[in-house]
Amino acid sequence: MELLRQTPDNYYGLCIVDPPYGIGISDFKRKNTKTAKFDGTKAWDNNRPSPEYFKELFRVSCGQVVWGMNHLHDMLPTTRGFVSWFKHQNGHFSECELAWTSGNRGRYFDLPYQADLYGKIHPTQKPVALYRWLIQNYAKPGQKILDTHLGSMSSVIACIEEGYSITGCELDKDYYDAGMKRVQNHLAQQKLFRPEGPSADVSPLKLDL
């Protein structure tokens, strides 16, 4: 909220955010899985963001993608442009996840949940490929990207791959440190496997905690 309040109107071209849904998923994960390194001591999903958060988010960005549409819809305007991500999950988990967008056309993305979840560090970590697809479909060249809930930093890696700068926030130091390590590992691999020359350049990376 401090970052948003200090940001001028329409400063970011696009925000892609995955805030807490207020459904206690961290408690559910703690009881049922051991997939995330820091799972078991966190309670980050006990409460939803405030209406003020969404008011500020919409003020500072021209376009928005907000995950958790079905849990946060009462604080969001109506839209025809939601994203439906088919995750191929079953059992205790939903097969589909919805994102509210400021676009005017609905989109469907079919990608198994486990796709490119290498180095999973967060219970609700999303694939880099999903964020790359969102950037390709909703961002315009040269726009600044905002992610107010970085978590595993899949959005950061996607922005690097797509050539966008990103400003992000993560309040939890454990997730922030693990996410930054993941980003640095990605940058090291990128440098190792990309040829020398202009094509090897990495887009600016800006992170604010």
Kindly list the structural domains of the chain, giving each domain's residue range(s) and its CATH number in brackets, ordered by start: 2-200 (3.40.50.150)
Rounded to whole angstroms, the Cα distance separating 191 from 13 reads: 28
Are the C-beta atoms of residues 6 and 56 closer than 8 Å to each other? no
Rounded to whole angstroms, the Cα distance separating 154 from 141 reads: 19
Q: Say how many C-beta atoms besides its own lie within 10 A of residue 10's C-beta.
A: 12
- The pairing of strands 145-147 and 166-168 is parallel
Residue predicted with more confidence, 45 or 69: 69
Instruction: Grade residue 178 by pLDDT with cuts at 50, 70 and 90.
Output: very high
At 80-137, the pLDDT tens digits run 899 999 998 776 677 899 999 998 888 999 988 776 666 688 888 999 999 999 999 9
pLDDT of residue 209: 43
Sheet holding 107-110, edge to edge: 107-110, 83-86, 96-101, 61-67, 12-17, 145-147, 166-168
Reduced to 3 states (helix: H, G, I; strand: E, B; else coil), residue 100 is strand
Whole-number Cα distances in Å, 58 to 5, 77, 92, 163, 176 = 12, 11, 33, 23, 24
Residues 6+ apart with CB under 8 A from 145: 12, 13, 14, 15, 16, 135, 139, 155, 159, 164, 165, 166, 167
